[in-house]
């Protein structure tokens, strides 16, 4: 059974710092992996999707990497801003299944 873990559960950093959020999964036979952002009480915004054949994806200040063999993905945020404060979740889609399997998220606070 696939399990997705995100550590740490919460992270607080000063504005302007570069930071890395971690996501690990137990079964490497994934189809793709998505990173999402969730603001308090709101729905989910898709940030990046990485196919199993890809190693990384970039969008603006965000860069997501994928290492299937080690069961890990990272989300790198450059030059953090207070507006980046949110909960970041990763989710994987397995080969033979259509649903997403989710981590519990990392709550990020960027201090001005």
- Contacts with other proteins by CB under 8 A lie at 4, 31-32, 34, 36, 41-46, 49, 51, 89, 91, 93, 97-105
CB of 36 to other proteins, least distance (A): 8
Q: Which residues pair with 48 in a beta bridge?
A: 35
Q: Which residues pair with 14 in a beta bridge?
A: 111
CB of 64 to other proteins, least distance (A): 13
CB of 33 to other proteins, least distance (A): 11
The shares of helix, strand and coil residues in the chain, as percent rounded to the nearest 5, are 5, 60, 40
Comparing CB distances to other proteins, the nearer of 15 and 54 is 54
Comparing CB distances to other proteins, the nearer of 12 and 46 is 46
Radius of gyration of the chain (CA): 13
Comparing CB distances to other proteins, the nearer of 15 and 63 is 63
b (16+ CB within 10 A) / e for 89-103: bbbbbbeeeeebbbb
Comparing CB distances to other proteins, the nearer of 4 and 108 is 4
CB of 35 to other proteins, least distance (A): 11
DSSP code for 95:
T
């Amino acid at each position: 059974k696939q399990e997705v873990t995100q550590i740490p559960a919460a992270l607080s950093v000063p504005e302007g710092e570069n930071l890395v959020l971690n996501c690990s999964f137990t079964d490497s036979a994934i189809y793709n992996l998505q990173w999402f952002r969730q603001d308090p009480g709101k729905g989910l915004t898709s940030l990046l999707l990485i196919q199993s054949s890809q190693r990384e994806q970039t969008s603006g200040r965000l860069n997501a990497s994928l290492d299937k063999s080690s069961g890990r993905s990272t989300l790198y945020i450059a030059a953090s801003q207070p507006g980046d404060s949110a909960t970041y979740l990763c989710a994987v889609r397995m080969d033979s299944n259509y649903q997403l399997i989710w981590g519990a998220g990392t709550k990020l606070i960027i201090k001005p």
